[in-house]
Amino acid sequence: NLNSSVENLRYTAERENSKRYFLQTSLVLIVIFLLLILLLVVIYSETQVDGLTKLRNRRALNIRVGKLASSEKRYSAIMIDIDNFKKLNDTFGHAFGDEVLRTVASILIKNESHNVKCYRYGGEEMVIILEHFNLEHAVRLSEYIRNEISCLKWRYDVHVTASFGLGFEMPDSIK
């Protein structure tokens, strides 16, 4: 009877230890899985985001425009080019040029929404894609951003401006 009770206690303790080991192992595997997902998200975002400006990069732009072109969504595109950027870079240095790019990009990022996405096309060129917006909305947003850029104050006595180009795409079913 005493042996049976001791054996029963030993069996219960071993079962509890097995449960605890299983739960600990499961928890470790879940944490590893979540860390791998986080790593994949970071790697994916690194391939889609420009490191200097934090805008989406040209690769992301090409993917988005490809999807839009094959869909039935209408969209507008705004192309932005910082005027005389090479001269700014040559006169005040690349650090100041980077500051200009980051600051202009921050204005674009402030205007992002679910249907408005901003991209660095290359160099001093940036693109805004407006889904479900007509050309009038794109003109208004362009003028607003152009004014914001023009009003910026810089550590050097310079006036930074930008030129804008607009385009509009309608699906064939609407044309």
* pLDDT (0 to 100) of residue 132: 83
* pLDDT (0 to 100) of residue 171: 59
* pLDDT (0 to 100) of residue 136: 85
Q: Which residues of 96-134 are buried (b: 16+ CB within 10 A; e: fewer)?
A: bbebbbeebbebbeeeeeeebbbbbbeebbbbbbbbebe
User: Which amino acid appears at position 81 of this protein?
Assistant: D
* pLDDT (0 to 100) of residue 172: 58
Q: How far is CA 123 from the centre of its chain?
A: 18
User: What residues act catalytically?
Assistant: 124
pLDDT tens profile 105-144: 999 999 999 999 999 998 999 999 999 877 888 899 999 9
* pLDDT (0 to 100) of residue 164: 96
- Show the low-confidence residues of the chain (pLDDT under 50): 173-175
The values of phi and psi at residue 57, to 5°, are -95, 180
The values of phi and psi at residue 113, to 5°, are -155, -170
* pLDDT (0 to 100) of residue 64: 92
* pLDDT (0 to 100) of residue 14: 87
